[in-house]
């Protein structure tokens, strides 16, 4: 069992083995959010198979997105990492993700309800994402924007690869067979966990050192009087608070800057995943051929990659405050999304995909860096947990709301028959 204290690195490494942590985080981004963004290919097939509404089918991805966020909350993802260590938690998360995908392939249990259950593989995703991103923040300081940007490119690179690959697997083996292959692919998340080597030099934050000093006083004899007994009760209460903060830094909910930033996460999650889910089926409903429709996500992924690398590098130059850069990219992302419904041809949809990918990548490249600046690297693990918990409401509601908006274009009869 790992040391249960909340810890931070005595000196950020900014390189060395830290690049293996970047590799691990790169693969985690790709095998979690990259898979979710590529799931639009399955959406069309599942929509046909169950002859259900677009809104109902969208809950599959919606629940997966929400469980990624909800499962990453401090009492689960961060607390388990603090207690058992980051490596075993990530490996267990990878195993759960694989089991969830395979469960969706079992023919005898193949129903929409089971798919809802299997989409809880998102919980496994959460157990892999939060610990790896936290450890990445520990290994880097000066190069943190670049490290986060490079690691996050795993999402767009694997989206570029997986979207046409999923379409090919669906055509060859049906969507159930493709999910079985995906389940095997998810086992690579266990390898990502194995790469998470704990830092050798760890020290507790200053505030915990002060609290632990107070705990030492509890072992000293006290005068048997009413005042000394009250003082002892107070110190015991402080001791309990310290133990809780070691796993869950609940004081973050009183941090106004953190709560404001978390609200950004809610609204971002409402719209971030809707294009990834509905772009392919929307293109199909407009008469775009299936492989061209799948190519739209690949176009988005290429520009997403460019946006993350370019704007991560810009953030690392420190020319402007990172939070100001984030504000600009979020405004641009909103404008692009508003223009999306105007695209009806493949060319127009390709331009939308490129614009969406570029500004989406620019946003994702720096939002974790901004969070670390808001709360400090010592509290990053708990902050990521609470941020994901608060953001989960947006991730849960976003895809169904989008499904309601586009349901007239996404009825089953609109798709070309296979």
Is 348 a residue whose pLDDT tops 90? yes
Structure confidence by residue, pLDDT tens digits, 235-268:
666 666 666 666 667 778 888 888 888 888 888 7
Specify the higher pLDDT residue, 307 or 248.
307
Rounded mean pLDDT, 37-53: 68
Can you list the positions of beta strands (E) in 273-361? none
Is 78 a residue whose pLDDT tops 60? yes
Q: Check: CB of residue 303 under 8 Å from CB of residue 354.
A: yes
User: Cα torsion at 313, 317, 323, 328 (round to 10°)?
Assistant: -60
Rounded mean pLDDT, 160-177: 85
Please name the residues in contact with 197: beta carbons below 8 A apart, sequence gap of 6 or more. Answer: 17, 20, 21, 87
Is 390 a residue whose pLDDT tops 60? yes
Is 340 a residue whose pLDDT tops 70? yes
- Spell 264-277 as b/e; 16+ CB within 10 A means b: bbbebbbbbbbbbb
- Give the pLDDT of residue 285: 82
Is 393 a residue whose pLDDT tops 90? no
The CATH label, of 3.40.1010.20, 1.20.1250.20, 3.20.20.70, 2.40.40.20, for the domain at 8-199+252-412 is 1.20.1250.20
Determine the 3-state secondary structure of 314 from DSSP: helix
Residue 270 CB-half CA count within 13 A: 10
- Give the pLDDT of residue 375: 85
User: DSSP letter string over 282-305?
Assistant: HHHHTT--HHHHHHHHHHHHHHHH
Per-residue pLDDT band for 385 (boundaries 50, 70, 90) equals: confident
Query: For the chain, what are the domain ranges?
Result: 8-199+252-412
Q: Check: CB of residue 394 under 8 Å from CB of residue 269.
A: yes
- Give the pLDDT of residue 395: 65
Rounded mean pLDDT, 71-77: 54
Is 372 a residue whose pLDDT tops 90? no
Residue 179 CB-half CA count within 13 A: 25
Is 156 a residue whose pLDDT tops 70? yes
Please count the other Cβ atoms lying within 10 Å of the Cβ belonging to residue 113. 8
Per-residue pLDDT band for 218 (boundaries 50, 70, 90) equals: very low
Closest CA to 61 of 108, 128, 112, 98: 112
Q: Check: CB of residue 247 under 8 Å from CB of residue 83.
A: yes
Q: How far apart are CA 329 and CA 144, in angstroms?
A: 19
Q: Which of 138-147, 302-311, 336-345, 396-405 has the lowest mean pLDDT?
A: 396-405
Is 339 a residue whose pLDDT tops 50? yes
Q: Are strands 8-9 and 202-203 parallel, antiparallel or unpaired?
A: antiparallel
Per-residue pLDDT band for 65 (boundaries 50, 70, 90) equals: low
Specify the higher pLDDT residue, 119 or 153.
153
Rounded mean pLDDT, 6-18: 64
- Give the pLDDT of residue 91: 93
Averaged pLDDT score across all residues of the chain: 75
Q: Cα–Cα distances in Å, from 120 out to 105, 272, 302? A: 14, 19, 28
pTM beyond 0.85, yes or no = no
State the burial class of residue 75 (Cβ atoms within 10 Å of its Cβ: 0-12, 13-18, 19+): middle
- Give the pLDDT of residue 33: 81
């Amino acid at each position: 069992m790992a040391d249960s204290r909340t810890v931070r690195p005595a000196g950020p490494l900014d390189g060395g083995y830290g690049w293996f942590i970047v590799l691990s985080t790169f693969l985690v981004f790709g095998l979690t959010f990259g898979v979710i963004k590529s799931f639009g290919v399955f959406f069309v097939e599942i929509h046909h198979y169950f002859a259900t509404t677009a809104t109902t089918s969208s809950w599959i991805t919606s629940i997966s997105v929400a469980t990624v966020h909800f499962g990453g909350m401090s009492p689960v993802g961060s607390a388990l990492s603090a207690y058992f260590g980051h490596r075993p938690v990530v490996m267990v998360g990878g195993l759960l993700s694989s089991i969830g995908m395979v469960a969706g392939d079992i023919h005898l249990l193949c129903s929409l309800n089971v798919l809802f259950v299997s989409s809880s593989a998102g919980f496994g995703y959460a157990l892999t994402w939060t610990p790896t991103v936290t450890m990445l923040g520990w290994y880097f300081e000066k190069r943190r924007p670049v490290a986060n940007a490079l690691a996050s490119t795993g999402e767009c690179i694997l989206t570029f690869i997986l979207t046409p690959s999923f379409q090919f697997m669906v055509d060859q083996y049906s969507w159930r067979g493709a999910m079985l292959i995906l389940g095997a692919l998810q086992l690579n998340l266990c390898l990502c966990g194995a790469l998470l080597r704990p830092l050798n030099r760890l020290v507790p934050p200053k505030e915990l050192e002060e609290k632990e000093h107070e705990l030492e006083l509890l072992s000293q004899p006290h005068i048997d009087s009413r005042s000394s007994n009250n003082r002892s009760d107070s110190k015991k209460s402080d001791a309990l608070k310290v133990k809780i903060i070691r796993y869950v830094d609940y004081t973050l909910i009183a941090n106004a800057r953190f709560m404001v930033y978390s609200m950004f996460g809610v609204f971002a999650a409402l719209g971030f995943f809707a294009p990834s889910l509905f772009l392919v089926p929307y293109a199909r409903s407009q008469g775009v051929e299936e492989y061209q429709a799948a190519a739209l996500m690949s176009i988005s992924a290429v520009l997403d990659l460019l946006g993350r690398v370019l704007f991560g590098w810009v953030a690392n130059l420190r020319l402007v405050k990172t939070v100001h850069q984030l504000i600009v990219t979020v405004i641009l992302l909103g404008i692009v999304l508003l223009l999306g419904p105007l695209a009806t041809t493949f060319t127009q949809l390709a331009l939308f995909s490129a614009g969406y990918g570029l500004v989406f990548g620019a946003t994702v490249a720096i939002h974790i860096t901004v969070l670390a600046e808001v709360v400090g690297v010592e509290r990053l693990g708990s902050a990521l947990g609470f941020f994901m918990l608060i953001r989960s409401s947006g991730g849960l509601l976003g895809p169904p709301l989008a499904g309601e908006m586009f349901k007239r274009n996404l009825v089953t009869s609109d798709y070309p028959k296979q």
